Amino acid sequence: MKIYVPEYSHHAGHWIYRGYQRAWKELGYDLAFNEATRTAAGARDAAGYEHFSVAAPFPSDEESMSEEYIIMAVDGAVKSESFLESIERSHKTFLFAQPNSFPDPWGGHPNFVCLCEDEKIEKLNEIDKVHLWTFGEVGEYHSKWKKVHTIPLAFDSIGYKAANNDAYKKYDISFVGGWVDNGFNEKRPIMIDIFSKFMNSGLNCGFFVGRNLTHQQECEVLCNSKITLNIHDTYQRVLGNDTNERSFKSLGLNGLLVSDTVRQLNSIFPNVKTSLDSDELVQITKDYLSLTEKELNDIKEENKQNILENHCYTNRVQQMLDL
C-alpha cells in the first residue's frame, strides 16, 4: 500500500518526517510523492539552498486515487476541496492536529495554534477514517477537534547508526543542535545559562551549536561522548506537555541523558535524571561520571534497549495503525 508522508527541507520537521518515511518503508509500505506539489513548494534562500515544505501530500490524479493509500498530513495544510476528497478516498489518514487555543504568550503566535479553518475542522471530524494525533499530551487546548491521540516523537533507528570515533570520546558531556527561536526567542538564554555552568565546571564539554555538523558527525559526537545533554524551550518547561526529539535520539545513540525537567520526558523516561537548576544538572553529570565504566555502560545498554523496543518511529507507525 502507498503512503504519503510530509516533507520538510530543514528544521525539526525534516528529521521527524524523514524518520516516519523510513519507518513506513521498513514496514513494507511504498512511499508516494506528488511531484507537482513538491515542485510548487520549492524556494531557494540567498545561499542557493532549496527550502520547501509539503505538509499535505496527496495523490493528484484519478489513477493514483484509485489505488489504496494512506495519508499523513498537517492540519493547517488542509485547504483545498481536492485534498479533502483525497482524504475521504484514503484507506486511512493520520492528521497532525495543532491546538485550537494555547496559553499566553505562546497562543498569540501561529507556531503554536491550529491554522485549519473551522469549516474544515468540522468536515474532518465527520470522516471516520481520519485519525488525529499530536506529539504532546492532549488536554483542553484541542477543544474543536474530535479525539486527538498522543503519539510522542521517537528515535530514527534506521537513519541514525552508532559509529565509533575516538576523537569524541574525550567529551564528558555533549550537545548538538541550533539556536532555536520559537517566535519569542526564549530558549537561547536558557541554553546560554546551562552551557556556561557546564563550561565553568571543569568538565570537558562538546557543545556544537549552530556548527552545521554532518549527519554522521552528529551521530559520532552523541554516540562517543560519555553523557548527552538535552535542553527544552520555556513553554515545554512551564506546560510540560511535550519533549523534543533530542531526548529519544540521545538515548538511542548514547544511552545516558541529563536534561532540564519536562513532565512528558519524566513520564516516558522516569529513569532520566532532570532538573531546572543548572548547577544541579552539572552535579548530576559529575555523579554519573564518578561511576565505574561498567556501571555507566550498564545504564546505557538498558536505556538503548528500551528505545529500540519501544520508542522508534516504527513503534509510532504501529501506534497509528492501531488507532
- For 60-104, how does the pLDDT look when each residue is reduced to its tens digit (9 = 90+)? 777 777 889 999 999 988 888 888 999 999 999 999 999 999 999
Worst-scoring range by mean pLDDT, 7-21, 244-258, 275-289?
7-21
Q: Which residues neighbour 256 within 8 Å (Cβ) at sequence distance 6 or greater?
A: 226, 227, 228, 288, 296, 299, 300, 303
Identify the DSSP state of 90.
S
| pLDDT value of residue 41 | 54
Residue written as grid cell 520537521:
13
Of 220 and 13, the structure prediction assigns the larger pLDDT to: 220
CA–CA gap between residue 248 and residue 252 (Å, rounded): 6
Q: For residue 158, count CB atoms less than 10 angstroms from its CB and return exposed for 0-12, middle for 13-18, buried for 19 or more.
A: middle
Residue 277 confidence (pLDDT) above 90: yes
CA–CA gap between residue 152 and residue 149 (Å, rounded): 10
Which residues partner with 141 through β-bridges?
none
CA–CA gap between residue 61 and residue 140 (Å, rounded): 38
What is the mean predicted confidence (pLDDT) over 126-151? Answer: 96
| pLDDT value of residue 42 | 54
| pLDDT value of residue 282 | 98
Of 15 and 261, the structure prediction assigns the larger pLDDT to: 261
CA–CA gap between residue 93 and residue 261 (Å, rounded): 34
| pLDDT value of residue 8 | 82
pLDDT, averaged across the chain: 92
| pLDDT value of residue 182 | 80
The identity of residue 91, as a single letter, is H
Residue 194 confidence (pLDDT) above 90: yes
Q: Which of these, 145, 297, 286, 160, lies nearest to 217 by C-alpha position?
A: 160
**Which string of DSSP letters, residue by residue, matches 243-280?**
--HHHHHHHHHTS-EEE---HHHHHH-TTSEE-S-HHH
What is the mean predicted confidence (pLDDT) over 218-232? Answer: 97
User: What is the phi/psi pair of residue 240, to 5°?
Assistant: 75, 10
What CATH fold (topology level) applies to the domain 166-310?
A: Rossmann fold (3.40.50)
Its sign, for the CA torsion 147, 150, 153, 157, is negative
| pLDDT value of residue 43 | 55
What is the band of 313 on the pLDDT scale with cuts at 50, 70, 90?
very high
| pLDDT value of residue 175 | 98
pTM over 0.85: yes
What is the band of 47 on the pLDDT scale with cuts at 50, 70, 90?
very low
